[in-house]
Amino acid sequence: MVAAFAASIFAPLIGFMVVLPWAGVLAAILLRTRQTDMQLVETGARLGHASLERAQSINALAGAACWTAALLMFPWLADGAEATSMLLIIVALMCASTFVYSTSPLSVLIYIAVLGAGMIASQVLAGEWHAVGGAILFTIANLVATIEIRTTFVKSRLAEAAVAEKEAVVSLLLREFEENEADWLWEVDPARRLHSVSPRFAFALGSPQAEVEGKPLLEMIAGNRWSSGQFPPSLHDLAERLKNRENFSNMLVQVSILGEERWWELSGTPMRDEHGRFTGFRGVGSDVTEQRKSSEKIAYLARYDTLTQLPNRLQLTEALGEALRYAVQWRTRCALLMVDLDRFKAVNDSLGHMTGDKLLAQVSSRLQSLMGENQMVGRLGGDEFAVVIRDAGSPQVVSDLARRVIDRLSEPYQVDHHTLYVGASVGSAEGPRDGGTVEEMMRNADLALYQAKDMGGGEHCRFEPELHASAEERRQLEVSLRTALGRDEMVLHYQPVVDANTEELVSFEALVRWNSAEHGFVSPGKFIPLAEDTRLIVPIGRWVMRKACEEARNWPEHVKVNVNVSPEQLLEPGFHAEVVQALAATGLRPERLEVEVTESIFLRDASVARNALEQVMALGCSVALDDFGTGYSSLGYLRKLKFSTIKVDRSFVQGAAQGSKESLAIINAVVAMAQSLDMTTTAEGVETGEEAALIRNLGCDKIQGFYFGRPMTAEDAAKLFRSVRERRA
């Protein structure tokens, strides 16, 4: 364009024959320059970069020389006419080349330097010395500007190259990430339509890549809900974030893929081009359905009992805490019922834990069916359950529910072709009257339950403040009982057992008594159950065995000593060795020791109990079955163990004395059975002569009771033998 402009000015002045050859040469130079420039940007250029640089510099030198020739020749041929126009053309070329002429800094510098030299030379020839100075400064300014602009250009290209390299690296890493990880990449355009769908993302969507490309993201993940518009809250949240073009990270979204409900975790960020225009969203996602199911299962296990599917202790305590806050806020009452099964341990021990677990499942189902509004039942552990009543404003709510629980749980159960019977005891506490905290409510309801169990089971007891006193007394008794043996506070008393026909003394039953320094004389009915609960009965029983054998060593050879053995003591692995040590240490013959056990030993571990008793019998000791008929109902153990004596409980003796036909029938049956099994019988609790005569007539072999003697100290027993010897003498 500039060359055509120059030719249009000077052709009329100096003739076309001069201008056209010059224009042809310049056109050839420009064409060659264009070809060299294109080779620089071609990826498959045959020449090296050094050759291209040299060619470009030669082209720049030739072009500048052509313009310099025109600057020096055209005005001279035209007699100086239009010289200013030619200078302006040269200035324009120098300025333009600084910004747009070439991508090679060296060729631009050559081009500007040659044009500047020509402009300076033309002004020297014209004698315009001021213009010469201006031309020099203008040339220098263009050269400096070219260097600065090219430096900036190179820096920007290097920065672009670095960005492009980073993008390539990121793309490579993202591809490797998507290929090797469970996550996938997703991208949507401004209309929220999917594009650049990767194979992994298409697989997550359950469709081929071609089918999902260009589809709306929300439509693809909403599934069948898309047509109804009824979306989960998480999908609404995702739609709002996309609409507002907001970043989001680790958003949990409920999606529907091929009709299956799944959970995705999505992160996304809006994309913008170099002009700041929004171009869509890009992000990563992963299917976390299995992890969510695992989390839900862990949360369920943390709050529910796995056997009964009822709320566990954690959830019950939370519900009770909420009920207490509700009661305080609305000035009403809440309640807690503690439920414990009666005779459940017998089922577990006799039929096994699998049967026990099935029974607990049925118990939980029955309890759940009894719950009404604002009532929650849960399992605390073992065979203990609890019921939280959120609103117990009506006075009969607690007692009615407790009675229904007892009645319902007392009905027979069918488990593995077994008909089982267990009952229930219930203790209750009302809040905030009986406790302002969860701990107080549970402790007080447990005290009430303990009271109900002491009453024989199948009862409901409300918490009363007096129960605290009983619990504190029990705690203090336990503390004192732990030191009773060491402080020599235990003592043995002996009750005579006589022959029913001759009324001669045949044995003494050793009975332990406790005279506490803090509490005075403590009834055996109090401290014996406490000792069994705390397993202190084991060392106490060991001491009783040793002490009774030691005292019996001083009695006549025909008199035996009867020692009661607790189930806890009998089931100890070393019980047989304890008996041997007691006999060896005291020198008592084994035939003079009779071990008394109750039927309850067969409810714990019948095989262990039988083995222990057989070892004792092998030593020569005899074994008596105490309180027969009041406990375990099976008679199979009488066939497996050779008991020496069956002791008839005092309740049957007193019943027979009062004319009870049932008691008379039971005593007759026991006597007949004992005779057929070659065992003797002892009637307990005989207090009058009439009772003694009745028992004698019924066929019992031995009698024990207050009529023949109350429990006495060892000294009194020794005096009894001395008086007998004196009478005989």
pLDDT tens digits for range 460-494: 999 998 887 777 788 888 899 999 988 999 999 99
Say what the pLDDT of residue 573 is. Answer: 87
**Phi-psi category of residue 695: left, alpha or beta, with phi > 0 → left and psi -120 to 50 → alpha:** alpha
Which token pair is 622?
Answer: 């005899």
Say what the pLDDT of residue 726 is. Answer: 65
The kind and range of the H/E element at 248 are strand 248-257
Pick from 75, 79, 80: which is nearest to 6 by CA? 75
Alpha carbons within 13 angstroms on the beta-carbon side of residue 192 total 15
The DSSP call for residue 446 is H
**b (16+ CB within 10 A) / e for 182-204:** ebbbbbbbeebbbeebbebbbeb
Q: How confident is the model at residue 55 (pLDDT cuts 50, 70, 90)?
A: confident
Residue 350: count other Cβ atoms within 10 Å of its Cβ.
16
Q: How confident is the model at residue 46 (pLDDT cuts 50, 70, 90)?
A: very low
Angstrom distance (rounded) from CA 316 to CA 379: 8
Residue 43 confidence (pLDDT) above 50: no
What is the chain's mean pLDDT, rounded?
87
Residue 273: count other Cβ atoms within 10 Å of its Cβ.
8
- Per-residue pLDDT averaged across 374-388, rounded? 95
Q: What is the DSSP string of 140-186?
A: HHHHHHHHHHHHHHHHHHHHHHHHHHHHHHHHHHHHHHHHHSS-EEE
Cα-based angle 596, 597, 600 (whole degrees, multiple of 5): 165
Read off φ and ψ for residue 103, nearest 5 degrees: -85, -5
Say what the pLDDT of residue 724 is. Answer: 62
The kind and range of the H/E element at 86 are helix 83-96
Model confidence pLDDT, tens digit, residues 294-319: 887 888 888 899 899 999 999 999 99
Say what the pLDDT of residue 419 is. Answer: 92
Taking the mean position of all CA atoms in its chain, how far away is CA 432? 31
312-321, 424-433, 567-576: range with lowest mean pLDDT? 567-576
Say what the pLDDT of residue 49 is. Answer: 65
The DSSP call for residue 41 is H
Domains and CATH numbers, the chain: 2-157 (no CATH), 181-295 (3.30.450.20), 304-464 (3.30.70.270), 483-728 (3.20.20.450)
Residue 598 confidence (pLDDT) above 50: yes
Model confidence pLDDT, tens digit, residues 224-247: 888 777 888 899 999 999 999 999
